[in-house]
Amino acid sequence: MNDYDRIARVISYLDENHIEQPTLAQLAERADLSQHHFHRLFSRWAGVTPKGFLQCLTLSRAKEALEAGESVLDAAFNTGLSGPGRLHDLCVNLEAASPGEVKSGGEGWTIRAGFGESPFGTCLIGVSPRGICHLSFVESKNRHTGAVAIEKDWPLARIDWDDDPAGVVDSIFAKPTDSNDRSPLKVFVRGTEFQVRVWRALLQIPRGSLTSYGRIAESLGDRGAARAVGSAVGRNRMAYLIPCHRVIRETGIFGDYRWGKTRKKALVAWESPSQS
C-alpha cells in the first residue's frame, strides 16, 4: 500500500464516520500505521500534521475557501480568460483543436504515452505534437486500457509507449518552492467552444482557492448557466492541469469528480494554503 492509498482510506473512513469524529488513533489504525508513522506519513505526503490536513476537509473550511476565493477570482477573471493560467508557479498554455483537427482525429500524429506516479496515484499521460493531450488518474498500468482512453479523443493517432512522458508527471506535481524552475506546459484539448471557455476559466483558479459552478457561470456572463458549466467541468479529461477539482458546490459540498470524490478531497487538501 502506497502513501496515497493510505490517505484515501483515511478520507473514505472519515466520510463514513464523520458524525463520530474519529480520533487520530482510530485513523492511524485505519491506515494500518502506528500514530508515530501516521504523523510521518502526513508530514512526507502533505507537509502538515494529520490534524491540519483533516481540517482542510471540513465543510466550514470549504465554505471559508469559497469566500476567500471570491476576491482572488474577481481579479483573475477581470484580467480576461484568454491568457495563460497559473498553476502553482507553472504556466499552462491551453490550446483548443480546430474543427479540422477534431475531424482528423489525430490522423498522422504519434502520441507518446506513458504511466507515472503522482501523489494521488498512477497517472496516464499522452503527449502529442501539439502538447499534452491526455492526463488522467488510472487504477492500473494496462496499456490496452490506456490506449482506449487516449483514443476517445484521438482515435486515428498512433500511440507509442515509452518512459519519457512519465518524467513530465514529476514536474507537474512538484510542490512549489522558490527554487523550482518551471517551464511552460502546452496543453492541447478538444471540446466545444463553450467547454473550452469553461476550461480556460478553470485555469484562473489559483492553487489553494475554490470556486463554485455559479461563480464560473457569472464570470462567463451568464449566471443561469451553472448547470451547463457543471456539464463542461465534468467533460474535462485533463486531470489536475485543468483544475476542475477546485470547483465545488456553493453549499461547500465537494460534489462529484471524474476520478473519484476521495481523490478530489485529497487534491483540495494537498493544495490548501496551510500545506504550502
Can you read off the three cell numbers belonging to residue 1?
500500500
SS (H, E, C) 47-67: CCCHHHHHHCCCHHHHHHHHH
Q: Delimit the domains of the chain by residue range.
A: 3-61+261-275, 64-248
Best CA proximity match to 119, nearest among 59, 77, 189, 169: 169
In this structure, the number of other CB atoms found within 10 A of the CB of residue 191 comes to 19
The reported pLDDT for the residue numbered 46 is 78
Pick the catalytic residue from 56, 123, 133, 244. Answer: 244
Q: Decide yes or no: CATH 3.40.50.720 for domain 64-248.
A: no
Can you read off the three cell numbers belonging to residue 232?
463542461
Q: What is the pTM of this model?
A: 0.84
> Residues of the chain whose pLDDT is less than 70?
68-90, 175-182, 273-276
How many H-runs (helices) and E-runs (strands) does the chain carry?
12, 9
The reported pLDDT for the residue numbered 97 is 94
Backbone angles phi, psi at 34, to 5 degrees: -75, 165
Q: What are the pLDDT digits (tens) for 34-49?
A: 999 988 888 888 777 7
Hey, which residues does 160 pair with through a beta bridge?
Answer: 112
Can you read off the three cell numbers belonging to residue 5?
492509498
The reported pLDDT for the residue numbered 273 is 64
249: CB partners within 8 A, 6+ apart:
212, 213, 255
Active site residue 123: no
Q: What are the pLDDT digits (tens) for 214-248?
A: 989 988 988 889 999 999 999 999 999 999 999 98
